[in-house]
Structure 1
Amino acid sequence: MPEQVEAGAGCGQSFGIDRAWGAVGQPPHALLRWAGAHGIGFGWEGLTMAEIHNRATVDAPIEKVFDFVDDPERFPTYVPNVDRVADLVRTEKRLGDSFRVIYKVLGMTFDEKFTVTEYQRPNRLRSAFAGGMNGTFAWSFEREGEQTRVNVDVDYQMAGGPIGKAVDALLLERTNEKTIEHLLQNMQKALTRGAISTG
């Protein structure tokens, strides 16, 4: 079980931040990374779960769409807020492959490690990710004639309590939802050959 840290002055002093968790010492994103690296959980409100589900139809063959998504090095070209992809480990089987995605949301920098947990070309691709947020990112693809139906399902957790207050949970959730929406739109533009429908 992760160590539970109780709220209080001692906790604030140990991280060099005040009772309101302002940026007196390390910023919230650094705190998140430190806590995750040391297996520390926060006992104030537990973890907040969030889900994102979106879909789009792309006017391109299913194999082309799958291969586009299966290339992490493309992420900065169509995934909003992504600065870079690093430490890419890639094998023929894909399962267990990993990479880091560095991106910015609401002025905070997140460094997430993705590990491929399911790979069924050209129908399913799923990764687990860990860092400032922990969760799963799943893609599924359905052939519709010469078009492809793309489904994105994301489940993630973020810290509650003081960290949840420092990082507005609802605002972050809405921002992440918009990110997925724009991701699909950008992917459509990159792959489409004609008319596109969403929803």
Structure 2
Amino acid sequence: MQTIAHIEAPVDRVFDFFVDPRKLADLNPVSAEIRELRMTEEGTGTYAAYRTKIAGVPFEIFDVYTDVVPNKHITEKSSSAMVGTWKYDFEPEGTGTKVTLEHRSRSIWGVPPLGYLGDLLTARLTESFMRGVKERIEASSN
């Protein structure tokens, strides 16, 4: 699944937002509490452990940035099979930034009927999340 958005802010500001797990967790449509966080200077190796509830069921999730190219790309891998792997690409577009998000779930979510349901849920959550990111970044630009 791929999502593309335009954020009216320079690439470095948009990238700085995405490379900080605290900012991402703050806007996550599925409320999550960060239990442990380690940020690295280069980005690769940054990780966060979250606790969340989905439909009343508690989950512990661990996400790590496995590839970071400043102002260009982030790959984030999750212990959650549905969350799976996220790839974020950033490039200048006019006076703002084009953000391309690519999501791949793992495990049982790869089975076609479940994958379809997972993609529908992820698409809705991603749309809500990106709307919040865009609003937050663009509001702080003014």
Normalising by structure 2, what TM-score?
0.82
Pairwise CA distance, 1:106: 4.2
Aligned residue among 120, 128, 131 for 1:185? 131
Matched residues in 1 for 2:125 and 2:107: separation? 17
Deviates more, 1:83-92 or 1:113-122: 83-92
Secondary structure in structure 2 of the residue aligned to 1:159: helix
Gaps of 5+ in 1: 1-51, 194-199
Aligned residue among 123, 126, 135 for 2:72? 123
Deviation string, structure 1 residues 154-176 (Cα, Å, up to 9, x no partner): 1111437xxx9xxx664443222
Percent of counterpart pairs with the same letter? 21
Matched residues in 2 for 1:142 and 1:191: separation? 16
Code of the residue aligned with 1:190 in structure 2: it is: R
Deviation string, structure 1 residues 72-109 (Cα, Å, up to 9, x no partner): 11123212113212211112122222112333444444
Question: How large is the RMSD of aligned CA atoms in angstroms?
Answer: 2.2
Task: Output aligned runs, 1:53-92, within 5 Å.
Answer: 53-92=2-41
Do the aligned residues in 1 keep the contact of 2:19 with 2:43 (CA within 8 Å)?
A: no
Code of the residue aligned with 2:136 in structure 1: it is: A
Give 1 or 2 for the bigger CA radius of gyration.
Answer: 1
Task: Output aligned runs, 1:129-148, within 5 Å.
Answer: 129-133=78-82, 135-148=84-97
Deviation string, structure 1 residues 19-64 (Cα, Å, up to 9, x no partner): xxxxxxxxxxxxxxxxxxxxxxxxxxxxxxxxx2101000111110
Gaps of 5+ in 2: none
Counterpart of 1:93 in structure 2 is 42
